[in-house]
Each structure stands twice: as structure tokens, then as C-alpha cells.
Structure 1
Amino acid sequence: MKNTRNKVHSVLQILVVFFGAIVFAISSQVFAQDAAALRIKQLEEHLQSMQTGMQAMQSELEKLKSQSTQVTQKIERIEHKESSVETNQEGSKRNMVFFRGGFAHSSQHRNGLVFQSDVVPAGVQDQPDKNAWYFGAGFDWNLTRNAWGLAPKTSVLAELMIEYKEFSSHVKGNALANMPTQLVGGAQNPHSVTVSQLSIYAAPKIKFMEGSRLRPWIIPAGFGMHIISPPGESASFFIPGVVFGGGLEYRVWKDFYAGIDARYHITGGKKDGIDVDGVTAGGYLGIGF
């Protein structure tokens, strides 16, 4: 009887252990499932939070993009307004047409075919005065407003100009300007000869103080071609040379200017006995365009 009781007790212990193991296994599995579910839930919440953050970032990026577009449009409008203001602003025109006039002086007396002739030294042999009056016109074409980035507020322009000088219109000529010519025994009856000179210039012009009403300028060196009348004794009409100059210009009203200038013309000596070196000094009126 005792043995039977012990066996029953042993069987009960085994069953208790077995059922305990089963309960522990089930509990562990349930706990594991709960932990996994909690982890999954946390991951879902984290992903949801990331998605919300990305949506917020995308919204901010859209706002920034919109703001950037608005800023760009504002800048373009401002630049357009500035361009319109600069276009309409008084004195904003870059180019100019001008008209000059004044006094000219030659370094030597003129010598030519019909007066003061070395080939035909007969007749009155008169000479014109060294002084003359001149008038001319030209235009400045603006190349840059800051000397290609080398000097701020310094404009470089290309000047093209034509100029007429008249030394005298009553110079008495020699035998070749006599009617009839004294070479065939005619009486002394000399014609009056007009002594004049036409000059064409092409030169760089540098203007300082861009934006100011008063602007000084210089011509460091330019090319000049002088056409003389009467011609030289060997029928020479054209004399090339170099011109240097400087002046001061003032914007009077809108795009209308007034200025003074002085220029020195040099040709490197006489050509067929004629020397046209000299200076001019006077004023000019300009219109911007």
C-alpha cells in the first residue's frame, strides 16, 4: 500500500513538473509575442514619426522653393526697374554727337603751290597768318564704363571727328595764281587764295568721374589725317599725323552737354615744304544718344 502511495506521489510530481513546463513554455511564448508586438508597435510609431517629419520637411522645402521663386521674381523686377530708371535717367546715354569751334594756331607759316613757292619764286609771294578759326563735328562711341574692370567710373570711348580750319581767304598768290600768268609776261594781277585745312581724326578718349555732371577727359594719342588746300608744290594733299588732347565736359540739362577742349597736332616735320603742326582750343556742344 505504501509503495502504491509512493508511485502515485511520483506520478503527481511528474505531472506537476510537466504541466509547469508547459505553462512556462506557453507563458514564455506569450511574453515573446507581446514583446514582438510591442516592438512592432514601436517601429510603426517610429516610422509614422519619420513619415510625419518627412512630410513636414517636404512642406518646408515647398515653402522655401516658393519663397525662392518670389525672391527671384522680386530681384528680376528690381533689376528691370533699375534698368528702366537707368534708361530714363538724365545723363544716362552712353554715346554723344558734338559740334566744335574755336581758335587754331600753326607752328609755322604755310607754304604751297600758289603762294610762297620755291619752284616759282615770282609774283606777290604772300603768306597766310599762323592763326586760324576752326569748326567741326564728331561723335563719341562708348566702349566701356569701367575701363574693362581696370578702373571704376572711367569710361573709354572711340572718337571719330572731322574738322575744318581756315587760315585766310585773301592770300595773294605767285605767278601761277596770276591772270594772265607772269611767266608769259602778264601784268601783276594775283588771285586771292583761300588757305584751309580739313582734318579727320580717330582716337581713344578716356572720360573720368562716371555719373558726375562734370567730367574731365583726355586723348592719350590718336590718328589724324590732314588734307591741305592749296596743295604742296608736288601736288601733295594728304599729311598723316598724331593728335593729343584733353578737356572738361559738363552736363547742362538732361542729355545736353557743354565742354572745352585743347588739342595738339603733330605730323613729324614738313611735307613738301608744308608744316601743319599746331594747336586748337575752343568749346563744343554735345547731345547724348
Structure 2
Amino acid sequence: MTFKKTQTGCAIAAATLTMAGALVSPQALAHSKAERIAEATSSKVDALEAQLQAMQAELNSLRAAQGAPSADAQKVQELDEWMQQVKSAPVKAQDHHDNTIFFRGGFAHSDQARNGVSIQSDVVPVGAQDQSDTDAWYIGAGFDFGLTDDVWGMMDNTQVLAELMFEYKEFGGHVQGNAIAQDPTGLVAAGTPRSVTVNQLTITAAPKIKFMKDSPLRPWIIPIGLGLHVISPPSESITVLNPGLMFGGGADYRLWKDIFIGVDARYHLTGGASDGVNTDGYTAGGYIGIGF
């Protein structure tokens, strides 16, 4: 009897434990699955948040790049601004040129009366010999070549030009030649000495400084230049060439476009007589120029 009761009690206890296990196991399993799902969801959220943060950082980087343009973009922008300024600046029409050709003429004076081998004779009294006049007329021409508009950056509106010029001076066309100096045997007996043309050809090269570039009236100076004088008749020693220096100044006025008129004065200095012939003197006159 007691044994049966014991078996019955054991059976009830086993059944109770079995039912408790059956009830506990599904709850435990369900709880474990929920935790796994929650952990997976949390991982996905964290990954999505990391992706969003990365995209936000990249977007901020792009915005920063647009806000601070690169060096090439800045250069392009500066060039565009300069082009706009050039286009909007008023166009200045150039109605003349710096290079010019000019033609001169006027009065010349020599510091000493000219003589020469065809005129002068050391054995004939001075009063019996003819001499040329100290005054003369001259004609000439030349070129101006523009070198700089501002004296190489030192003076605004001040040009420097290179001038190359020649001029012909005539001091007398019918000066009586000295018969003894020319032909002491034939012409003296016949009494027909030849007449002599006393003239001079001068070639000069000099820098010319021209002021007031944009003005129709423009003064200029030649601080110093080189002159070569070819004389006729030759000196008593048959010298025909006499070098020297030249100084000058003047002004011109633009009449219309590339045509202008002007006046000038120049002094030629040779440092004294060359074999008895002195070519020191000055010229004063006018000129007409054409730009090209």
C-alpha cells in the first residue's frame, strides 16, 4: 500500500516536472530568438547610421570644394574679369604713326667764310681773291624712327626717336676761282678764271626727344648728334670730309592725321678749321612731315 502511494507520488512529480519543462522551454526559446532579432536589427541600424554619416561627410566635402575654388578656377575667373575690363574700356583711335619722313629748307650761316683749293692762293693778295658768302640756303630730308613712347619707362608721353638726316647747303654759285690756284699758265693769260660753286653736304644721325605725345603741338630737342660734312671745293690740303657734333631743337604741329609742319634750328660744331676750312655754323628753317 505504501509502495503504491510512493509510485503514485513519483508519477505525479514526474508529470509535474514534465509539464513545467514543456511550459518553460517555449518561453526560453522565444526569449532567445527575440534577443537575436533585436541584436540583428541593432547592427543594421548601426551600419545604416555609419553609411549616412559617410554620405554626410562626402556632401560636406563637396560643398567645401565648391565654396573654395581651385587655383586654376581662380586664374580663369581673373582672366575673364580682365577681358571684360578690356572690352568695356573706350577704344582709342590711333590716327597717326610714330615713324615719319620730313623735308626741310631754310637759312644757313657759317661762322667763317669758306675757301678752298680752287679759291684760295697764298701768293695772291687777299683783296684780289674772291670769297664765298657766310650766309647760305639749305634743303634736306630725313627719317624719324620711333624707339620708345615713355623713355623706356622713365617719362610718360615722351618719345625717343632715331633721326637720320641729310642737308645740302650752298654758300655761292658763282664765286670767282683763283686763276693762279687753278691754272697759272693758261687761265691767267687768257683772263678767264673758272667760277666755283661753294657748297656743303651734311649727313647727321642723332637721338630726338619729343614731348607731349598726345598733343597736336609737340616740341622736341636733339641733345647731341653726329655730323659728317662733305665740302666742295676741297681744302688747300684736298680735304673733303670734316666730322663734328650737332645740337638742335624745334616743334611741329599736326595739321591732319599723318601730315604736320614744323620749325627747327640746329648748330654744327666741328672744333675748328680742318685744313683751313671751318664748317661750324647753324641752320634755321621749316619742314613738312608725313607719318608712316
> TM class by shorter-chain length?
0.7 to 0.9
Alpha carbons of structure 1 residues 135 and 41: separation in structure 2 relative to 1, 3 Å: same
Q: 2:128 is matched with which residue: 124, 129, 137?
A: 124
Other structure's SS at 1:30 match: helix
Question: How many Å apart are 1:119 and its aligned residue?
Answer: 6.2
Look up the match of 1:255.
258
Alpha carbons of structure 1 residues 15 and 184: separation in structure 2 relative to 1, 3 Å: closer
Gaps of 5+ in 2: 1-8
Q: 1:239 is matched with which residue: 237, 242, 256?
A: 242
Question: How many Å apart are 1:69 and its aligned residue?
Answer: 8.1
| Letter of the 1:26 counterpart | R
Task: Kindly indicate whether the alpha-carbon contact (under 8 Å) linking 1:133 and 1:166 is maintained by their aligned counterparts in 2.
Answer: yes
Look up the match of 2:222.
219
Q: 1:210 is matched with which residue: 209, 213, 219?
A: 213
Deviations 1:120-174 (A, max 9, x none): 6589311112111111001101111122222221111111111000111122221
State TM-score, norm by structure 1. Answer: 0.79
Deviates more, 1:228-237 or 1:110-119: 110-119
Other structure's SS at 2:273 match: coil
State the distance in 2 between where 1:204 and 1:65 align: 42
Look up the match of 2:3.
none
Look up the match of 1:104.
108
- Say what the alpha-carbon RMSD is for the aligned residues: 4.0
Look up the match of 1:42.
52
Question: How many Å apart are 1:230 and its aligned residue?
Answer: 0.8
Task: Kindly indicate whether the alpha-carbon contact (under 8 Å) linking 2:121 and 2:180 is maintained by their aligned counterparts in 1.
Answer: no
Question: How many Å apart are 1:177 and its aligned residue?
Answer: 6.1
- Confirm or deny that 1:145 pairs with 2:149: yes
State the distance in 1 between where 2:100 and 2:187 align: 55
Other structure's SS at 2:249 match: strand
Deviations 1:24-50 (A, max 9, x none): 632541342342353155247537846
Look up the match of 2:117.
113
| Letter of the 2:254 counterpart | R
Question: How many Å apart are 1:191 and its aligned residue?
Answer: 2.7
State TM-score, norm by structure 2. Answer: 0.78
Which of 1 and 2 has greater Rg?
A: 2
| Letter of the 1:128 counterpart | S
Deviations 1:254-281 (A, max 9, x none): 1001111111101111111110101111
Aligned residues: 278
- Percent of aligned positions with the same letter in both sequences? 46
State the distance in 1 between where 2:75 and 2:156 align: 36
Other structure's SS at 1:216 match: strand
State the distance in 2 between where 1:185 and 1:34 align: 138
Task: Kindly indicate whether the alpha-carbon contact (under 8 Å) linking 1:122 and 1:174 is maintained by their aligned counterparts in 2.
Answer: no
Look up the match of 1:181.
184
